[in-house]
Chains A and B, each alone.
Chain A
Amino acid sequence: MALLGLLFLSQSIALPIGNWNHPGPGALPKIYSTCLVCGGVFLMWRARSHRTANQFEFEAFTLRNIGLLFGAFVIFALLIRSTGLLLAAPCALILAYSAARGRSIPELVVLVVGITVGSALLFRYALGLPIPLIARPW
């Protein structure tokens, strides 16, 4: 929180504050950022004085899940324009499915085919969204 506040404070430092009669574009961003910095520092101080409360550790399973799930979004973003939905959706599905417990290959195949065909029919044809089904990368 404190870091976010500092980042935004540094961004808005050059913006004019104005005055009480006519607040400028920098007034509120500076007030909000300062509040976040102070609040973040207070939370850090509170966390130091209550060390046992609310601590969590990233387990290997959590990190793997985060990587696979966010990886699914990234791969979709990278492939959708260059290859289209028919390749981007299965790739994202495979990554997201890999994050779950109790996986099986036949189930994955059914899921990939079902969701890809279903998404194409629903979003491209039924809802008319301008998503390319097959795009040419060149």
Chain B
Amino acid sequence: MGLEQLWENLNLGLSVAADPGNLVYCFVGCLIGTLIGVLPGVGPVSAIAMLLPFTFNLEPNGALIMLAGIFYGAQYGGSTAAILLNIPGESTSVVTVLDGHPMARQGRAGTALGIAALASFLAGCIATLLVAFIGEPLSRLGQYFGPQEYFILMFAGLMLSAVLARGDVFKALLMVVAGLLLSTVGSDSETGLERNTMGFASLWDGIDFVPLAIGMLGLPEILLRLEDATTNKTFSKSIGRLLPNVGDLKASLFPALRGTAIGSLFGILPGSGPIMAPFASYAAEKKLAADPDRFGRGAIEGVAGPEAANNAAAQTSFIPLLTLGIPPNAIMALMLGAMTIQGIVPGPQVMTRNPDLFWGLIVSMWIGNLMLVLINLPLIGIWVRLLLVPQRILLPAIVVFCCIGVYSVNNSAEDVLLTVIFGLIGYLLVKFDFEPAPLMLGFVLGGPIEEKLRQSLILSQGDFMTFVERPVSGVMLAILLLLIILKILTGQFRKGRKSSAAPDV
């Protein structure tokens, strides 16, 4: 793709993203995302799951622009609670706590918040350009893929999402299988035979995405928040000046650029890219620092690098979804669900059939990043006050919104009851240290993976070597195998979630 073509595409995207309606959706998404990020409680996965039903009435561009805004907005907002309260608003802000909060205790909260927002903005801009540059070539490549390549890509994605995820790998794999199994409920797409419906006619069309997503992701989080008594800490010191000085900017520039590079890479990988990227960035900064002892005591590089990394990863995780139709993580699985419900078939054809959506979303990411700097810095006082809203007010309101959201999809009270069943299962699973995210990924990819496997086997007349013999699928299998071996060799295969998430990096 030439630069001229890219320029034309970006212009098309600008015309979509700058549409007044879409600007409003983008702003609302960024605002909700920041709110979710700031408030230690509901994370972006469950928030997007809970807000999905309300986007069904919107036109596809606006709906996806808003949902994307929620995702990357949460990355920005997550740093506020991390820096001011020593509580990460998001799992992606865990590392920001290490140096951000000590900076706040030294009276440099404003500088930390300013650097976090500016590093996130820089990363967002660069990563958005990366999505624009890589998007089209990868999408074209995807058009040459046969069912074998798609099957292996999805299979590898599921395996890697479990292997590279935090927590018990075996449990994550079982959750993927459970998700795949749930995806088989309903009529078989080829023969029309009823499968696993337990005799319920309402399950003939399969399990609805929204009750499952809200039940598995949203309700357990609300219950865990109710149990958590450590919320609503207050910040008593003054925030100080928001604009960093020249020295702070100089010290932060290269860590932010390195964080962007690390985050961009991690975002594309299946698994918890945006969660792992800040850890990798922090570790890199600590190793590169002349005086590593400063880390953990308010080193500005420890804020700039990880904040850039989590935002870059959030943006680049759209690449596999938009170009190949394969979600690399649970949030992208929800986005895929939203696309499907909006009647958009995810995959390489999105760029040719819905170029306005593809390029509009990319340009909206840049506009959204700009909005987020404006939302986060001058309005910091409002966010600080919002941190004081008690969970006892917030959570019942969320419960009612969830009820209305689930009900409104099909005007079905049964869906609300189904959400309760999934919520109970989801809560028990979380209590037994099962991550629900791999289940959602398995559920979303279950249908396509079965379809591609069947097509591959029909084409190869039952020969499984077809997956090894074709170059792309063979290489993907080799990479998958290599990563699993590496994981075993590094002794992390059976490490628990807590040990791998420990901030000792």
Give A contacts to B, CB under 8 Å. Answer: 1, 4-5, 7-8, 11-12, 15, 19-26, 28-29, 32-33, 35-36, 39-40, 42-43, 54, 56, 61-62, 65-66, 69-70, 72-74, 76-78, 80-81, 85, 88-89, 92-93, 96-97, 99-103, 107, 111, 115, 119, 123, 127-131
- Please state if B177 and A66 are interface contacts (CB–CB under 8 Å): no
Contacts A1-B174, A25-B191; is A101 near B392 (CB within 8 Å)? Answer: yes
Of all chain A residues, the one with the shortest Cβ separation from B494 is: A46
**B172-186, CB under 8 A of A: which get 1 and which 0?**
011001101100100
Which of B196, B396, B413 sits near A96, CB closer than 8 Å?
Answer: B396
Of all chain B residues, the one with the shortest Cβ separation from A130 is: B411
- Please state if B177 and A39 are interface contacts (CB–CB under 8 Å): yes
Q: Which residues of A contact B408 (CB under 8 A)?
A: 123, 129-131
Which of B181, B416, B461 sits near A33, CB closer than 8 Å?
Answer: B181
> Can you list 8 A-B contacts (CB < 8 A)?
A5-B181, A39-B177, A56-B432, A73-B399, A73-B403, A97-B392, A100-B226, A127-B54
- Please state if B57 and A127 are interface contacts (CB–CB under 8 Å): yes
Tell me which residues from 183 to 230 in chain B have a Cβ below 8 Å from any Cβ of chain A: 184, 188, 190-191, 193, 195-198, 219, 222-223, 226-227, 229
Does B19 sit at the interface, judged by CB under 8 A? no
Q: Which residues of A contact B413 (CB under 8 A)?
A: 77-78, 80-81
Of all chain A residues, the one with the shortest Cβ separation from B232 is: A102
Bound together, the chains give a CA A15 to CA B191 distance in angstroms of 11
Q: Which residues of A contact B454 (CB under 8 A)?
A: 22-23
Of all chain B residues, the one with the shortest Cβ separation from A72 is: B399
Q: Which residues of A contact B464 (CB under 8 A)?
A: 20
Tell me which residues from 373 to 399 in chain B have a Cβ below 8 Å from any Cβ of chain A: 390-393, 395-397, 399
Does B323 sit at the interface, judged by CB under 8 A? no
Does B484 sit at the interface, judged by CB under 8 A? no
Bound together, the chains give a CA A131 to CA B393 distance in angstroms of 24
- Please state if A61 and B227 are interface contacts (CB–CB under 8 Å): yes
| Count of A-B contacts judged by CB separation below 8 Å | 182
Does B431 sit at the interface, judged by CB under 8 A? yes
Q: Which residues of A contact B24 (CB under 8 A)?
A: none
Q: Which of B298-306, B308-316, B418-426 contacts A (4 or more CB under 8 A)?
A: B418-426
Bound together, the chains give a CA A56 to CA B224 distance in angstroms of 14
B-side interface size class: 35 or more
Contacts A43-B170, A65-B227; is A11 near B222 (CB within 8 Å)? Answer: no
Q: What distance in Å separates the Cβ of B21 from its nearest Cβ neighbour in chain A?
A: 14
- Please state if A8 and B403 are interface contacts (CB–CB under 8 Å): no
Q: Report which residue of B177, B197, B401 has the largest number of chain A beta carbons within 10 angstroms of its beta carbon.
A: B177
Give B contacts to A, CB under 8 Å. Answer: 54, 57, 170-171, 173-174, 177-178, 180-181, 184, 188, 190-191, 193, 195-198, 219, 222-223, 226-227, 229, 390-393, 395-397, 399-404, 407-408, 411, 413-414, 416-417, 419-420, 423-424, 427, 431-433, 450, 453-454, 457-458, 461-462, 464
Q: What distance in Å separates the Cβ of A112 from its nearest Cβ neighbour in chain B?
A: 9
Q: Which residues of B contact A29 (CB under 8 A)?
A: 181, 184, 195-196
Which of B180, B184, B222, B458 sits near A69, CB closer than 8 Å?
Answer: B222
Q: Which residues of A contact B223 (CB under 8 A)?
A: 62, 65-66, 69
Q: Which residues of A contact B393 (CB under 8 A)?
A: 107, 111
Contacts A15-B193, A29-B184, A93-B400; is A21 near B391 (CB within 8 Å)? Answer: no
Of all chain A residues, the one with the shortest Cβ separation from B390 is: A102
Contacts A77-B413, A100-B392; is A40 near B397 (CB within 8 Å)? Answer: no
Of all chain A residues, the one with the shortest Cβ separation from B427 is: A66
- Please state if A32 and B399 are interface contacts (CB–CB under 8 Å): no
Bound together, the chains give a CA A19 to CA B399 distance in angstroms of 47
Q: Report which residue of A36, A73, A85, A101 has the largest number of chain B beta carbons within 10 angstroms of its beta carbon.
A: A73
- Please state if B404 and A19 are interface contacts (CB–CB under 8 Å): no
